[in-house]
Amino acid sequence: MNDIVQFVVSSLSLGGLYALMALGLVIVYGILRLINFAYGELVMVGGYSLLILGKTVWPWIFVAALSVAMAVLASVLMERVGFRPVRNASPTTMLITSFAISALLQNIALLTVSPRPQAVRLPGFFVQTLTIGGFRVKAVDLISLAVSLILLGVLTVFLRRTIMGMALRASADDFTMARLLGVRANGVIAVAFAISGFMAGIVSLFWVGRSSLVEPAVGLQPVLIAFIASVLGGMESLKGRSSAATFWASSRSACSRSCPRACSTTGRPSPSAS
Amino acid sequence: MNARALHVPRWVERAFPLIVLVVGLLAIAAGTDLLAGRVFQRVVTVMFINVILVVALQIFTGNSGLMSFAHVAFMAIGAYGSIWFSLSSQEKRLTLPDMPESWFLHQVHLPFIPALIAAGLVAAAVGAVLGVPLLRLRDASFTIASFAWLIIVHSVALQWDELTRGSRTVFGIPQYTGLWTATGWMLLFVALAFLFREMPLGLKLRAARDDEAAAWSIGISSAWVRWVALVFSVFVAAVAGGLWAHFITTFSPNSFYLRQTFLIVAMLIIGGSGSVSGAVIGAVAVSLTSEALRSVENWLNLQRAAQTALGQVIPFQLVGFTEIVIALAMIAVLILRPSGLTRGREIRWPFGPKLDRPAAVEPTPERAGW
């Protein structure tokens, strides 16, 4: 029984993370029709910020906030430098550009940090196990589940109720029409990338928190799953993805528990199996 | 009429790009054979195999406008396939110890060239089946689906111990591929790719790339021509994989994954996917540049290790420096010259009348296949 509860909580929390990433992918895709291969590298940026800033004496929560900010910054910069010049090219050109950016960022990390996985400082509450009503669950699972739910809720409200949210939805619907009605293209795209980077930053905290290791290819596995989740949930619609992502992550998590090797994309048991 | 016009038979003008490519590549091969040391000969052999891979990708991507990330997966099928067929039962006990001896495949032992072709046919058969659902997709959806196929093949290769020895490295493969073997196959495939581009099927394919509806209206079945191109290009990629396997002689499924995909795609994009010349020039340029960068990288690392005056200013071991430069070059090309160094055209006969054909429309990104 205890195992089942642990399993459900762990799967749901992973599902939440994948849902956040899938949202981050889709919010950009909706407007630009860009499938961002370099999205995993934003998780990497978050992870390495956590590693490097974590060597200071600053409180962890401050380091985490800075890491998320770094991911947002990287995302916005990525759009400004890499994607804006090819914005009007075909979807395939943009996709290949993102592929090149992904290779670029990974190799920069390889060059300037280290090809080897490195341990990240984590706060004590991350690795604790809580006992709730007789069931033992990992604190990190509960926290990441709660954060995902809150973020999904906040994002929904933001998209529904604010002017910027409406502009985003209108642009996803018909970018030309939205621009004719006075939506600033650069602004709305920058906001989409910022949200996307924010999601990646939050995911990086918990993804790195699960294994406490960060390496140049850390973002590869979650982004592959997020790709699948966003395709399953529908790239076009702003609905249904999160449920698809959660469902997919849960079934994947179930699979990797029963046969860790078969589910890994790297030949090693995935961190989700631990 | 242009004063520079030099009248030659029409076929000379039309075959001119091919002649230039063949002569150029032969010159590189001969020069390497005569002048270069063993290390550089290895570099050039790998480069030639990469030329075949990029040409394989060009056959499909350049003519259909659909970017495929799946070709390295077919290279993997070709590499493993070629060792299933080329190794004797005795050798398989060492190289593929998990393959049951009762299997028919265990007994198969073909000479090198039939083994390569057999591996190519296996891959082509897989590609033929895969192409049916995959080619229903367009643009980025196709690319993502082909990427999924790369992941599938990689995962299967990691797990299927009987056929691939799983995630462990296979070794003990006889080195059948040499510089001139690679040269011969490369010239063959460059010529075939060139002919394919110019033959009616290739023209139909390019018509469907430029305007699918208009191509439909003149009776071109885009699904059929794309399928033929995919099967052919997959065959070429698999043969390249087989050649590579019998040159490198030790590899694992990780040899056929994102790194190799990135390299092949970068070569094609930098050279220009629209033409065979672009594929060849891209592969040669990227190979030579990255080799030069790699030796600079190694030299700097040695300096660092020896703690010389120059070495002390290098803050870290240089890894991945070459890939950074390739990635930057690729981004620069995508932004500044989206149809590649060759602008997606073949090498032109330099003495032709200037207004021989209607002025070429400068390819827009969409029209160039991007």
Domains of chain A, earliest start first: 2-273 (1.10.3470)
DSSP A208-257: HHHH-EE-TTTTHHHHHHHHHHHHHH-SS-SSSHHHHHHHHHHHHHHHHH
Q: What is the pLDDT of residue B313?
A: 73
Q: Are A219 and A46 in contact (CB under 8 A)?
A: no
Chain Cα centroid distance, residue A86: 24
pTM: 0.85
Note the pLDDT tens digit of each residue in B144-183: 889 989 999 999 999 888 888 888 888 888 888 888 999 9
Q: Shortest CB distance from A89 goes to which of B66, B148, B338?
A: B338
Give me chain B's average pLDDT, please.
Answer: 86
Q: Are A32 and A87 in contact (CB under 8 A)?
A: yes
Note the pLDDT tens digit of each residue in B230-272: 999 999 999 999 999 999 988 999 889 988 998 999 999 988 8
pLDDT at A7 over 70: yes
Query: Distance from B262 to chain A by nearest Cα, in Å?
Result: 8
Residue among B154, B155, B335 with most chain A CBs within 10 A, to mutate:
B335
Tell me the backbone φ, ψ of residue A110, rounded to 5 degrees: -60, -45
Which of the four pLDDT bands, split at 50, 70 and 90, describes residue B118?
very high
State how far the Cα of B84 lies from the Cα of B276, in Å rounded to an integer: 31
Contact A101 B331 (CB under 8 A): yes
Q: What is the pLDDT of residue A266?
A: 43
Residue among B334, B364, B366 with most chain A CBs within 10 A, to mutate:
B334
Query: Distance from A67 to chain B by nearest Cα, in Å?
Result: 23
Q: Which residues of A fall within a CB distance of 8 Å from B366?
A: 89-90
Q: Which of residues 234-263 of A touch B (CB under 8 A)?
A: 261-262
Q: Does residue A38 belong to the interface with chain B, where contact is any CB pair within 8 Å? A: no
Q: Are A245 and A18 in contact (CB under 8 A)?
A: yes
Q: Which of residues 79-118 of B touch A (CB under 8 A)?
A: none
Query: Distance from B64 to chain A by nearest Cα, in Å?
Result: 12
Contact A97 B334 (CB under 8 A): yes
Phi/psi region, residue B123 (left: phi>0; alpha: psi -120 to 50; beta: rest), is alpha
Q: What is the pLDDT of residue B143?
A: 87
Q: What is the pLDDT of residue B37?
A: 83
Contact B154 A265 (CB under 8 A): yes
Place of tokens 């949200």: A195
DSSP B296-313: HHHHHHHHHHHT-TTGGG
Mean of pLDDT values over A81-110 = 87
pLDDT at B353 over 80: no
Q: What is the pLDDT of residue A44?
A: 92
DSSP A94-108: HHHHHHHHHHHHHHH
Q: What is the pLDDT of residue B90?
A: 85
Among the residue ranges A8-17, B45-54, B249-258, the one predicted with the least confidence is A8-17
Which of the four pLDDT bands, split at 50, 70 and 90, describes residue B51?
very high
Structure tokens given for B215: 């191509």
Query: Distance from A98 to chain B by nearest Cα, in Å?
Result: 9
More confident residue, B103 or B355: B103
Note the pLDDT tens digit of each residue in A222-261: 888 888 777 776 655 555 555 666 666 666 666 665 555 5
Report which listed range, A25-34, B238-247, B296-305, is most confident.
B238-247
Cβ neighbours, 10 Å, residue A194? 17
Percent above pLDDT 90 for chain B:
39
Q: Which residues of A fall within a CB distance of 8 Å from B159?
A: 261-262
Q: Which of residues 238-297 of B touch A (CB under 8 A)?
A: 253-254, 258, 262, 265-266, 269
The three-point CA angle B257-B206-B241 to 5° equals 25
Note the pLDDT tens digit of each residue in A144-193: 888 888 988 888 888 888 888 888 888 888 888 888 988 888 888 999 99
Residue ranges of domains in chain B: 10-256
pLDDT at A273 over 70: no
Q: Shortest CB distance from B331 goes to which of A97, A228, A262?
A: A97
Mean of pLDDT values over B13-34 = 88
Q: What is the pLDDT of residue A209?
A: 81
Q: Shortest CB distance from A93 goes to which of B318, B321, B365?
A: B365
Give the burial string for A44-81 (b: 16+ CB within 10 Å, else e): bbbbbbbbbbbeeeeebeebbebbbebbbbbbbebbee
Percent above pLDDT 70 for chain A:
84
Q: Which of residues 94-133 of A touch B (CB under 8 A)?
A: 94-97, 99-101, 103-104, 106-108, 110-112, 115
Q: Are B323 and A109 in contact (CB under 8 A)?
A: no
- State the count of interchain CB pairs (< 8 A) between A and B: 101
Name the residue of chain A whose CA is nearest to B329's CA: A100
pLDDT at B365 over 80: no
Tell me the backbone φ, ψ of residue A98, rounded to 5 degrees: -65, -35
pLDDT at B361 over 60: no
Which distant-in-sequence residues (6+ apart) come within 8 Å of A262 by Cβ?
Answer: A255, B159
Q: Are B77 and B241 in contact (CB under 8 A)?
A: yes
Which of the four pLDDT bands, split at 50, 70 and 90, describes residue A264?
very low
Among the residue ranges A73-82, A207-216, B254-263, the one predicted with the least confidence is A207-216
Dihedral in degrees, nearest 10, Cα atoms B217, B222, B224, B227: 170
DSSP A6-75: HHHHHHHHHHHHHHHHHHHHHHHHHHH----TTHHHHHHHHHHHHHHHTTSSS-HHHHHHHHHHHHHHHH
Structure tokens given for A134: 């007789």
Instruction: From residue B226, give the alpha-carbon distance in Å to each of A192, B147, B166, B352.
Output: 36, 18, 33, 33
Chain Cα centroid distance, residue A49: 15
State the pairing for strand pair A118-119/A135-138: unpaired
Q: What is the pLDDT of residue A271?
A: 41
Note the pLDDT tens digit of each residue in A41-63: 999 999 999 888 888 888 888 88
Q: Which residues of A fall within a CB distance of 8 Å from B139?
A: 90-92
Q: Does residue B366 belong to the interface with chain A, where contact is any CB pair within 8 Å? A: yes
Q: Which residues of A fall within a CB distance of 8 Å from B324?
A: 104, 107-108, 111
